[in-house]
Chains A and B, each alone.
Chain A
Amino acid sequence: MELGSAELAILDRLLEARTGQQLNDSRYWRVARAVESIMRSHGFRDTDALFALLTSKSGYEVATQIVEAMVNNETSFFRDATMFKQLRNLLADTLTEKGSPRPYRIWSAGCSTGQEPYSLAIMLGEMPHLPGRKIDIVATDISGGAIDRAREGLYSQFEIQRGLSVRAMIRDFSQEDEKWRIRDKLRESVTFREHNLLEPQAAGPFDLILCRNVLFYFPMATRAKVLSHLRDALAPAGTLILGAGETLIGLANGLDKIDGGYGFYRLHSEERRDIAVGG
């Protein structure tokens, strides 16, 4: 399906109004598929009818469906094995430190259909030497449909094989016909919520925030706002993990990159002290 520039402009404005994100090149292929699938499900024969509805007052619901399809990002279990290896080392060091009686809190921001927070839960379950410190995992996404799927924890054969070892699959999932469902104990270890990154995260502070390959979709001005929300939700000694290819150049960010850490950031030392003194 070919979409004209006027149609793409409508979709761009819709996406930005609802999510603050941009319709950049990497999303064009997804947009055409999203429009096609929504036209099929609503029985529209041509794009004119769909776009007429989209721009009318009664088009809110169909607009929501299109936005959800456009923001539903590609994901997989243990996506970026190097990052997970480094994170495992960081958690092994951090969680074995004596002292804190409070839970260690993790936020997976932009969790899509749940593979990232479940990978964290699986990895933590594979670290039996950790002391009994409680771990909270909160996972959010702007898409209600993605959050529903994540809560359900049911994955196709293609999805389950991407990045997950067969031993973890057999141990942590049960087979239901052609699909695989995450076991209750792991499912219950993650709290899923809808959340728009343009809004502050009220459930902080978090010791670890993962927001990988998400900032890229926001225009520069909005990116700074999202980053400030992430920073505000970070505990003084917490760690923020961005996608390996993402950069904070050009953003006044108050964060220091951790040496050797592939997209790992900490609050700038001055800000850490301010929070500690102030809070």
Chain B
Amino acid sequence: MKKCLVVDDSKVIRTVASHILQTLDFEVSEAENGEVALAKVQRDMPDVVLLDWNMPVMGGMDFLAALKRLQLPDRPKVVFCTTENGAGQIRQAIDAGADEYIMKPFDRETLHAKLEIVGLA
């Protein structure tokens, strides 16, 4: 079973995303910010991280930079999932190493399609 780490400071979003991912046969874990996510990634490497942009303690862009610094041999795919929907921010995330990008709000079809694009569905 593929693993996904959902990183979002909103409990509601984490719950909704987790539910959808479970219906897509993913084993899901959750983190409320980038710092908690970074610790979880090192303990139990997921196949993909679904990542919010704005979060307290450590946001999505800082998480992505920290993940890069870890120089993991097999880095998880990173799919941003955020309300930051401007073309400029999307480019910034891609340049920083994000594999895909979902603009909130999203639904099951969108999430499934994006996971398919990164080769995980």
Contact = CB atoms under 8 A, between A and B. Distances in A.
Given A165-B100, A166-B101, A158 B107 contact: yes
A76 B113 contact: yes
- Which bracket fits the contact residues of B? 10 to 19
Interface in A139-189: 157-158, 161-163, 165-167, 169-170, 174-175, 178
Contact of B114 (A161, A167, A174): A161
Contacts of B113: 76, 161-163
A170 B110 CA distance: 17
B109 interface: yes
A162 B91 contact: no
Contacts of B107: 158
B6 to A, nearest CB: 18
Contact of B86 (A161, A163, A174, A175): A175
Contact of B102 (A76, A161, A167): A161
Contacts of B98: 166
A52 interface: no
Given A76-B113, A81-B116, A175 B106 contact: no
- Which bracket fits the contact residues of A? 10 to 19
B57 interface: no
Nearest to B104: A157
Contact of A161 (B87, B94, B110, B116): B110
B117 interface: yes
Given A81-B116, A170-B94, A162 B86 contact: no
A76 B110 CA distance: 10
Contacts of B85: 157, 178
Contacts of B55: none
A139 B109 CA distance: 25
A165 B107 CA distance: 16
Interface of A: 76, 81, 157-158, 161-163, 165-167, 169-170, 174-175, 178
Interface of B: 85-87, 90-91, 94, 98, 100-103, 106-107, 109-110, 113-114, 116-117
28 contacts: A76-B109, A81-B116, A157-B85, A157-B103, A158-B110, A161-B102, A161-B103, A161-B106, A161-B110, A161-B113, A162-B109, A162-B110, A162-B113, A165-B100, A165-B117, A166-B90, A166-B94, A166-B98, A166-B100, A166-B101, A167-B94, A170-B87, A170-B90, A170-B91, A170-B94, A174-B87, A175-B86, A178-B85
